[in-house]
Amino acid sequence: TTVEKQGFRHFMLKEIYEQPSVVRSCLETYLDASWSKEKAEEKSPINLGLAGELCDNVDYIQIVACGTSWNASMVGKYLLEQLAGIPTMVQYASEFRYSPAPMLRNTLTIGVTQSGETADTLAALEMEKQRRMALESPYNAQILGITNRPESTLAHMVDRIINTQAGIEIGVAATKSFIAQLMGFYCLAIDLAYRRQHLSADKLESLVKGLRELPNQIELILSQQEKQIEELAHEFIDTQDFIFLGRGINFPIALEGALKLKEISYIHAEGYPAGEMKHGPIALLDAKVPVVAIAMPGDVHDKVLSNAQEAKARDARLIGVTPTDDNEARATFNDLLFVPHVDELLSPIISVIPLQLLAYHIAARRGLDVDQPRNLAKSVTVE
């Protein structure tokens, strides 16, 4: 009913709009408000309540997840590797169950599931627990869950959870729970980086400052870009294929943008690392296939622009997600979805917002059942 949707046409749109407050509440819960860089000697800026035995001697991290949670885990991998320096593998739970990697020592296993009930994820974690149970340190099982449901089966099965606290999500296509999982990974990666003394006090301070700015920046995108994105969506009434390109930490956001569009609009969409486009997807390109390129400032910005220009040379319509309003960006992109300028490592939280809105408005414009897309379930409790 309209009451529950608080005036929004669909739950998905309402949940997209809840994201600034989801980020805020995560920061309130897990960031130590009294921390400053002068205190960096005494304490971590993050308080996740993780016991030392779970995370002090971690040499490797392996993550199992499905769907959107898998995409969030891929962002997590970049953070855990780049901020904390811990080699991290991300596996589809359904694959890990039947072909797990050989066991490595001192491994933290993380199960990421919004619902805490996805059968494949639970079974993969159970298998890992069993496989390691008989073994002693350094091969014993250390399992952390990241979930939005502290009462779920997952929560009972693991040593510890990070409760993502996004509130109940009704739209089948995950939005606010994805953002909340990303926040969980930021907190975890910063905390592990602190424990391992992998970041300077200055870097910690600038990350914390950047995190605190995110809620207002998301609000800005919602208030300034939604109308434009809604209008843009009208242009894709007959589109059958979409390509999403990103590099580095925004590669998983290209995957997530494509997944959102597939799930609710039934348009075929692929997310690709921009540098791989020339090894296949470029053959698909013509004037009928729009390309969305995530071009956030940082190490790979210029590379993404040149990959986008290759797509343009094949007549593709190019949509850029970028804060860059210069001549090169204007000459490259047919449409610009502006977002605030942030640290590259924090940029997934920002770059995913216009992609959620784009998927939403294309599906809504097509008159589809956005909150209950065909053939999908909110949580898949069968193998």
Q: Which is nearer to ligand G6P, 111 or 273 (CB)?
A: 111
Least distance CB 64 / ligand G6P (angstroms): 10
Enumerate binding residues for ligand G6P (CB under 6 A).
Answer: 66-69, 113-115, 118, 121, 172-174, 376-380
Minimum CB distance to ligand G6P, residue 103 (Å): 24
d(CA 383, CA 363): 28
Is 378 among the catalytic positions? yes
Tell me the C-alpha distance between 365 and 367, whole Å. 5
Burial 182-209 (b: 16+ CB within 10 A, else e): bbbbbbbbbbbbbbbebbeeebbbbbbe
313 vs 377, beta carbon nearer ligand G6P? 377
Tokens representing 81? 């590797």
Closer to ligand G6P at the Cβ: 147 or 351?
Answer: 147
The single residue of 37, 129, 303, 378 carrying the catalytic annotation is: 378
Q: What is the DSSP string of 45-62?
A: SB-----HHHHTT-SEEE
Least distance to ligand G6P from the beta carbon of 21, Å? 21
**Residue 132 — φ and ψ, nearest 5°?**
-100, -10
Which residue minimizes CB distance to ligand G6P?
Answer: 67
The least CB distance from residue 148 to ligand G6P, in Å, is: 8
Q: Could you tell me where the beta strands, DSSP code E, fall in the chain?
A: 60-65, 88-92, 107-113, 142-147, 160-163, 241-246, 268-273, 291-294, 318-322, 335-338
With beta carbons less than 8 A apart as the criterion, state whether 154 and 191 touch.
no
Judge residue 210's burial from the number of C-beta atoms within 10 Å of its C-beta, 0-12 exposed, 13-18 middle, 19 or more buried. Answer: middle
- The distance of closest approach from Cβ of residue 26 to ligand G6P in the complex, given in angstroms and rounded to an integer, is 17
Give yes or no for a contact between 192 and 324, defined as CB atoms under 8 angstroms apart: no
- Catalytic residue list: 378
